[in-house]
A and B are shown apart, each in its own frame.
Chain A
Amino acid sequence: MATSADQTGPEAASTATADVASGASGTPTVTLRLWRGDDTGGSFNDYTVDNLGGEVVLDVVHRVQAEQAPDLAVRWNCKAGKCGSCSAEVNGRPRLMCMTRMSTLDTTQPITVSPLRANPVIRDLVTDVSYNFAVARRIPAFHPGPRDADGTYRMAQVDADRVQEFRKCIECFLCQNVCHVVRDHEENKPHFAGPRFFARLAELEMHPLDTLDRRDLASRELGIGYCNITKCCTEVCPEGIHITDNAIIPMKERVVDARYDPIAWLGRKILRRPAPTPASSTASLSPAGKAHETISTQPRTPAGG
């Protein structure tokens, strides 16, 4: 009984793999179905290479490049999920190619790799991401208040944590690619910043040291109102940033607040600032900030005071 159960399990699957995908030499192979072309059009081409095990999609793309298609265009830098360069659609799902292990894919079938759909294609897997750089230029930079008397800025770890979640963003723009507001609607781009930049706006808005109000910009020019909270952006984010829950929804609430109560906003921004506390056992490297949860309700100490 146990034997027959085994045969329909993983072993059966691996036999199938060997049948469908193995080269003359007996080394298992895999077929990548890569989109090749440029802004005038293109098509999917199949490339069959050895499936070496322990690899990610980007490795296999690189092997195709080194062995069969030296002119295959693909962006990458870090190969460690830290730079956000290698975004593409793997079997139709937007992914970082360097963080998609081959072992998670069904290699008995060709694996499709295509460029991000929401962007104009430049060549092969390389797309035009200039929209994102243009949006970035429209957001006024961080603008802090004055330093404390001793020349430092003080901030509690809990407040830092909130902002740091958004600053983890590697600008892979996968979230920008899946958002339905622009995915198939090029015409919305001029008035819609997209989830990556809503996260940036939220980051600045929640930064305890920042003094600018960008809520009007968020609603009037950057189109946060178009977002209907489908959460597709959050699902695709390789950094696990809770774009919808932690950035967009709070931003939407604050935008509404701005319409009715500018004072409440000002109060919230100022009150979040921790008051300086005397340095005690600063040599400790224990998780910082926990003791400061109450600080955020204390009034700000004016600079120089």
Chain B
Amino acid sequence: MPEHESHVFDVVVIGAGGAGLRAAIEASAAGARTAIVCKSLLGKAHTVMAEGGVAAALGNVWPEDNWMVHFRDTMRGGKMLNNWRMAQLHAQEAPDRVLELEEWGAVFDRTPDGRILQRDFGGHRYARLAHVGDRTGLELLRTCQQRAVSLGIEVFMECKILHLLKDSSGAVSGAVGFWRESGKPVVFGAKSVVLASGGVGKTWKFTSNSWEGTGDGHALALWAGADMIDMECVQFHPTGMVWPPSARGILVTEGVRGDGGVLRNRDGERFMFNYIPEFYAKETADSIEEADQWYDNKKDFRRPPELLPRDEVARSINSEVKGGRGSPHGGVFLDIASRRTPEYIKRRLPSMYHQFKELADVDITKEPMEIGPTCHYIMGGIRVDADTAATTVPGLYAAGEVAGGMHGANRLGGNSLSDLLVFGRRAGQYAAEHALGMPGDVLVDSGQVQEVMQEALAPFGRETGENPYAVHHELQETMQSLVGIIRTESELLEAKDKLADLDERAAAVGVEGHRQFNPGWHLALDLQSMLAVAHCTTLSAIERKESRGGHTRDDYPASDPELGKVNMVTRLAGTTVTVTPEPLPVMPDELKTLFEEGH
């Protein structure tokens, strides 16, 4: 008699965003019995929020574009901290992944000759983003969802995974979780597990992430003994809504700037011209006249500085606000109303028009938007092998935002959707290969299951314990103010102490009610994941004594070439997280030449 509901598969994929679906599609197509487990309903994952597009060197708009240019842009955007092999595979395979989506029913916007249209985005040399208006993420997610459904892949919805199971050899053998609806445990035996659980944004106060972005996959991997890299590299998207308070953090697509929108301070000045870094000076327009001609003639003019990579733009906005030149609600203005016709804006940016109208009562065809940086994406994540997406734990794979390395210290817009597809597919392929090559059945140790469930249910026994919402609130405040967009040693150390304190408080939270669909209880459990992430980020941020991409140190404002050669590796030693700098994989010489010739 089984004590728990249990299921056995070859491959279990945790997460049903773009990476998870793409992994499951591949594993299933390879003949592995595959299941997807996700915290929300199918089709609701955070991938729907991606607006701009999928970066792929299709060369439909610029025949000059190819994978080498895309590779170079990605590495430069990532401040050369990227895993070069991931960046190479990504640039080489993205076009095929996009064309494949079309075969599964995606309908991208078209060029005049009927091919897939590509749009400009920050940090990409050529117009490279295949897109569908400004709802590309939804298109990608729905396409993969429909594909997965047509392949008959089993989906376990509204199920939270608490812990990964391992066998006596140290390899992954499955996962334990519970149904959000009933609170009852469910066990998955699996020969391979793919983590595709997305991001960590809910650890910060202002974030574009949904409630699901609690770093579950990061924590599961850490607890299972996997290495994490560069967790200090967190991207603050430069343009999140700042008003009204309820919409704070919600993203405004970079597409607004690609289509002519400009940033202005309180005095109406296009301040980005004051912040062009040396590194990008050669390809960035230094006058308004030149910048404005670029939109119609990209060959003869250089790009407007509003389209610099995200970290540069976010930092510049931060400086304007700190210098007292911000907008009334602590951001700056993003203005497209004075630059394009209402018809153009509505056609190119329909969901932005809709979003501001509905959420802020602002008509973006008539008024500027108020925007400011918001926690958006973590470049760091689980350390994986570039080709196979294998983590350092046998049988465990990771793809998408939860994996580290691909984006280095800073991610270019559009490179996330392509990352999901390229490495989602690879993770699925190698997870299936691993599973199908393993003889025999998986054995699940029910002792481990008991232990995990007991711990998970403990908050119900602490009726007088602290409210998990209060602890979460404090964690967000701590990370926002002390481990935010600009960091400094003393504050990071303060954060480290506070986190130790929050660990204790989180371990003593109490919840009311019963196990059925109880958000307070779910938050109590998610808190453990968020704390694991917070520790990794804080420790790595202390150790990286330089500024690079998404990691900016007030006390070390310059990049340090030596630190540019290492990953900050965090892992669990006993119950504490440790951090060690370890050398980056070294790029082969033939790729290095791409950076020398001034391509």
Contacts and interface: CB of A to CB of B under 8 A. Distances in A.
A101 B355 CA distance: 12
Contacts of A140: 150
Contacts of B469: 65-66, 70
A167 B133 CA distance: 11
Interface stretch (A17-25, A185-193, A255-263, A288-296): A288-296
Interface stretch (B271-279, B318-326, B511-519): B511-519
Interface stretch (A4-12, A147-155, A215-223, A241-249): A147-155
Interface stretch (A42-50, A53-61, A176-184, A226-234): A53-61
Given A72-B519, A152-B115, A167 B244 contact: no
B149 A55 contact: no
Interface in B437-472: 467-469
Given A137-B149, A170-B48, A70 B513 contact: yes
Interface residues of A, number: 74
Residue of B113, B468, B512 most packed against chain A (CB within 10 A): B113
A122 interface: yes
A165 B330 CA distance: 36
Interface in A124-148: 124, 126, 129, 133, 136-137, 140-142, 144
Interface residues of B, number: 78
B359 interface: yes
B61 A160 contact: no
Interface string B405-430: 00000000000000000000000000
B561 interface: no
B212 A77 contact: yes
A300 interface: no
Nearest to A291: B112
Interface in B322-351: 344, 347, 351
A199 B70 CA distance: 37
A50 B42 CA distance: 34
Given A71-B520, A80-B355, A289 B110 contact: yes
Interface stretch (A27-35, A82-90, A106-114, A264-272): A82-90
Contacts of B60: 282
B135 interface: yes
A77 B211 contact: yes
Contacts of B246: 54-56, 59, 79
Contacts, number: 203
| Listed residue (B116, B117, B246) with the most chain A CB atoms within 10 angstroms of its CB | B246
Nearest to B523: A70
B483 to A, nearest CB: 23
Contacts of A55: 244-246
Contacts of B138: 82, 167-168, 170
A156 B347 CA distance: 16
Nearest to B298: A283
B102 interface: yes
Contacts of B146: 136, 141-142
Contacts of A70: 467-469, 511-513, 518-520
A304 B127 CA distance: 29
Closest 7 CB pairs of A and B: A71-B513, A54-B244, A70-B520, A142-B105, A154-B114, A141-B150, A73-B517
Interface of A: 38, 52-56, 59, 65-66, 70-85, 99, 101, 103, 122-124, 126, 129, 133, 136-137, 140-142, 144, 151-157, 160, 163-164, 167-171, 204, 207, 210, 274, 276-285, 287-289, 291-292
Interface of B: 40-46, 48-49, 60-63, 99, 102-105, 107-117, 119-120, 127, 132-133, 135, 138-139, 142, 146-147, 149-150, 181, 210-212, 243-247, 250-251, 259, 295, 298-299, 344, 347, 351, 354-355, 358-359, 361, 467-469, 511-514, 516-521
29 contacts: A56-B359, A70-B519, A71-B511, A71-B514, A71-B519, A71-B521, A78-B49, A80-B250, A82-B135, A123-B517, A140-B150, A141-B147, A154-B114, A155-B110, A160-B107, A160-B108, A167-B138, A167-B142, A204-B105, A274-B114, A277-B113, A280-B113, A282-B61, A282-B63, A283-B62, A283-B127, A284-B112, A285-B127, A292-B112
